[in-house]
Amino acid sequence: MAHATHRLRYAVVGLVLVGSFAFLLFKGLGTALNFYLPADQAVQQKASLGGKTFNLEGVVEPGSIHATPNGVDFVVTSGATKLPVVNSGSPPELFRPDIPVIAVGHFDGGTFVSNQILVKHSSNYIAQHPARVTAPNGSKQ
């Protein structure tokens, strides 16, 4: 009797583990391993993407950010490509010009309509005090 309950317990634990492993693998491969598509590549593949929802990446063009009644408009650049983004909802705290962001949405004519912005911060850490520190690339920050 005790033996049977033990076996059942192992089976349940095994099932839960295998199930969660499969789920994670599915989610990982489901987003095709690449989390986003750079805006220049997205514009090239616009015809095949159609109205599909995907993650678009680009750098926020300085001076292009305008608050709108239900969100924010801005332009992302990626290589030589510039693409206007219309976002509904407020972007995260760190959203600002000249940083890479990911917009979740789809093409609508010549613009990208999104409902979520993710800020893709870099792995560079630079102290905030101006003129007191030198950035890793040698420039005064």
Partner 1 sequence: MSPNPTVPSPIVQSPRVRWTVRIVGVTAAVAVAFTVWLGLWVTPPDQTQGDLVRLVYLHPGVAWVALYLAFGLAAAASILYLWPRTRSLFWDRLAAAAVEVGVVFNVCTLISGSIWGRPTWGVWWAWDARLTSTAVLLVLFLGYLALRRVPAEPEVRARRSAFVALFAAVDVPIVHFSVLWWKTLHQGATVLNPNLSPTIHGSMAWTLLLGFVALTLVFVWMLLVRYRIGFLEDWLGSSELDVALLERRAEGMA
DSSP label of 128? S
Window 54-93: contact mask with partner 1 (x via CB under 8 A): ---x---------------------------------xxx
Residues with Cβ within 8 Å of residue 79, at least 6 apart in sequence:
38, 40
By C-beta, is 10 or 44 nearer to partner 1?
10
State yes or no: residue 138 binds partner 1 (CB under 8 A).
no
How far apart, in whole angstroms, are the C-alpha atoms of residue 121 and residue 38? 15
Residues near partner 1 (CB under 8 A) are: 10, 13-14, 17, 20-21, 24-25, 27-28, 30-31, 33-38, 57, 91-96, 99, 102, 116-129, 133-136, 141
